[in-house]
Amino acid sequence: MKINRNYENVKKSYLFIEIAHRLREYTSANPGADIIKMGIGDVTLPLAPAVVEAMRKAADEMGKKETFRGYVDDNGYDFLINAIKGYYKKFGVDLDYWEIFVSDGAKSDLGNILDLFDSDNTVLVTDPVYPVYVDTNVMAGRRIIYADATEENGFLPMPDPSVKADIIYLCTPNNPTGAAYTRAQLKEWVDYAKAQGAIILLDSAYEAFVTDPDVPHSAYEIDGARDCVIEFCSLSKTAGFTGTRCGYTIVPKTLKADGDLNAMWLRRQTTKFNGVAYVIQRAAEAVFTDEGQRQIRENIAYYQQNAKILMSGLERCGIKYFGGKNSPYIWLKCPGGMGSWEFFDKLLKEAGVVGTPGEGFGVNGKGYFRLTSFSTHEKTEEAMERLYKMLNG
């Protein structure tokens, strides 16, 4: 018996586990401490009423013989797939039924999709980067190269034709920086991928936060994207499904790769995934109704107001920041030249506020810090007041 030695190359501690460890140590030594958590991007508002009602109705159906459901359909129930199709049509994107695959979230699919690719592929990721993109490929033993996302390029690196890549990870709007590619910029990546014979794995978990009309909600708004892009979407931030778990992945039938990726993904999912529960899929369907959309837009607007509070507070403190406009994340430059973890400890111990050290997202995250807008107005305002007092005595 031999184990997968590639796991030995993965960082021993996942970023958010380390944050939880440091927080636990501090609260153990300081019981009763009033901590404002703005680190992990978990939502705080409850599920929309339309979603809860749909879930309740579906649960009742499961308790009656005539409406009980057993195993789910291969790639999702008709009602949810058709609802997702209708949502994409709002962006001028016409998807085929069999291109939509319902899942338990983008994070799972972003890792599981790698089952389709040989380990002898070069993977290109931006840095800073969501850790899952890197860790899942390290586990598989793939070669990873980086495109530098820096203050100089607005944390939106563009493709270098001299660099060879087979699998490209993009996240737009970006986690952690909040930066978002315009249509013209995303078109450059699509053209690059097609020239390379590469596949783009595009994480679109935050598309519902887009406000800039020049930033696409879907890669498939870009000409040629259906030939080279697999898109991953999540209801976690869109509709508060972080604890409910539902998302979907789009695998176009027209993908030009060394094999039929659409058919391969269907085969993979029917072999290694049992689907998303009927009750959850009914709840997800409600997200895409007119009433559901109205209600979740209210929740998103609430978080967007928090982002404005954060930006205003940072301006008051004289701290340079990025993001916030098309994203629930604020990416700030640590004041006084502090390191990411140094600022984390200071903010925790002196202000009782928890954020995410940028260093945990890669080399280019050193000296930067991420705050999330997933809190209440009151706590967001209080966090900014505490930060100001910490920096100004």
Q: Answer yes or no: is 5 within a domain.
A: no
Question: How far apart are alpha carbons 14 and 128 in whole angstroms?
Answer: 15
CB distance 347 to 390 below 8 Å: yes
pLDDT of 91 above 70: yes
Return d(Cα 17, Cα 38) in angstroms, integer. 15
Residues 230 and 303 in one domain: no
* Residue 77 near residue 69, CB atoms below 8 Å: no
Same domain, 115 and 197: yes
Tens of pLDDT, residues 58-76: 999 999 999 999 998 778 9
Q: What is the mean pLDDT of the chain?
A: 96
What is the spatial distance between Cα 248 and Cα 281, in angstroms, rounded to a whole number? 11
pLDDT in tens, 16-64: 888 989 999 999 999 999 999 998 778 999 999 999 999 999 999 999 9
The residue among 268, 288, 308 that closes a domain is 288
- Give pTM, 2 decimals: 0.95
Count of other CB atoms within 10 angstroms of residue 176: 32
d(CA 324, CA 85): 28
Q: Which domain holds residue 231?
A: 49-288
Instruction: Read off the CATH number of the domain in which 364 is found.
Output: 3.90.1150.10
Give the span between the Cα atoms of 324 and 326, in whole angstroms: 6
Contact of 51 with 287, CB cutoff 8 Å: yes
pLDDT of residue 283: 98
**Local structure of 332: helix, strand or coil:** strand
Neighbour-count burial of 71, counting CB atoms closer than 10 A to its CB (0-12 exposed, 13-18 middle, 19+ buried)? exposed
Q: What distance in Å separates the CA atoms of residue 147 and residue 154, rounded to the nearest whole number?
A: 13
- Clarify whether residues 137 and 256 are in a common domain: yes
Domain-located, residue 7: no
Residues 35 and 81 in one domain: no
* pLDDT above 70 (res 13): no
CATH number at residue 107: 3.40.640.10
Residue with tokens 């001028």: 92
Do residues 236 and 300 both lie within one domain? no
- Sign of the torsion angle spanned by Cα atoms 115, 119, 122, 125: positive
pLDDT class for 257, splitting at 50, 70, 90? confident
Residue 310 CB partners (closer than 8 Å, separation 6+)? 321, 324, 330, 371, 373, 380, 384
Q: Based on the domain organization, do 319 and 360 belong to the same domain?
A: yes
355 and 222 co-located in one domain: no
Q: How many domains does the chain have?
A: 2
Task: Work out the number of other CB atoms within 10 angstroms of the CB of residue 182.
Answer: 15
Please name the amino acid found at residue 285: E
Instruction: Assess whether 218 and 311 both reside in one domain.
Output: no
